[in-house]
Amino acid sequence: MTLDIPVADAPKSTANLMPDAQTVTSVRHWTDTLFSFRVTRPPSLRFRSGEFVMIGLPDERGKPILRAYSIASPNWDDELEFYSIKVPDGPLTSRLQHIKPGDQIILRPKPVGTLVLDALLPGKRLWFLATGTGIAPFASLLRDPETYERYEQVILMHTCRKVAELEYGRELVEGIKDDPLLTEIYGDSFASRLLYYPTATREEYPRRGRITDNLASGKVFADLGLPPMNPAEDRAMVCGSMALNIDVTKVLEGFGLREGANSDPKEFVVEKAFVGDGI
């Protein structure tokens, strides 16, 4: 296990220290365990909304500490956005959580990932199923006009332990529904095509419970006025912990959906490079 780097030893500025460097343009701390930040975009970087890249910082010896992070901004954005947890003894996030505008991070401009529209067969409804910071790739896809070009309805299910941890998703959805570009392209009724279903598991909230429970019980379908998932009309993307991936996969397969990939599109895909505990 990599040893923790005390806050006092974290670099005051990472400017001009490394190759593949990009400059931090803004940082927002959502809770004491969650933050997002934006960095400059390499001119050569081209990516599909939903993909991830390797980002990081050098350790005290100058050796890069890199982890896979989903790009939360859409592919048309001039900057790159990322959404992260804070792990006190995490090899990377113990340092990354202290970045500020003007600092630099390492960003390897080689995007990959399974959560892309091309990995799914055509359908009517697209479900985004996320826990915690697993919402990041969907923040990219939700802001991409191509998502609404391919699907009549888009449903975001986001589950967190605490209510405050849902704030990133709430602001995201509100901003998208008021997005002038998407409204111009798809009309005033565009906002009704995006459905948002946030739930908390450890605090009181209007909607409670895990994604798997709300899907398997049919509660989410009843609450949103939608038919149960079926392989003819529904497509899904999953991003969360390994336990979530396994449990949701079983539920989706129970509805008759099959797991696909970039090379073999089917009814749902799962991101296996999710940044979770220990980073």
Structure token digits, residue 230: 């079926």
**Which residues of the chain fall below pLDDT 70?**
1-18, 274-279
Structure token digits, residue 193: 């095509």
| CA nearest to 91, candidates 63, 70, 113, 71 | 63
pLDDT at 12: 43
In sequence order, the β-bridge partners of residue 238 are 129, 270
| CA nearest to 234, candidates 147, 162, 127 | 127
CA-CA-CA-CA dihedral for 237, 242, 243, 249, to nearest 10: 30
pLDDT at 272: 78
pLDDT at 276: 53
In sequence order, the β-bridge partners of residue 206 are none
- Domains of the chain as residue ranges with CATH: 21-112 (2.40.30.10), 117-272 (3.40.50.80)
Core vs surface per residue 196-220: b (16+ CB within 10 A) or e: bbbbbeeeeeeeebbbbbbbbeebb
- pTM value? 0.91
Residue 142: in which H helix or E strand, if any?
A: helix 136-142
Residue 2 backbone phi and psi in degrees, to 5: -70, 135
pLDDT at 226: 98
Helices and strands (DSSP H and E) totals, the chain: 8, 11
Inter-residue contact 275 to 67 (CB < 8 Å)? yes
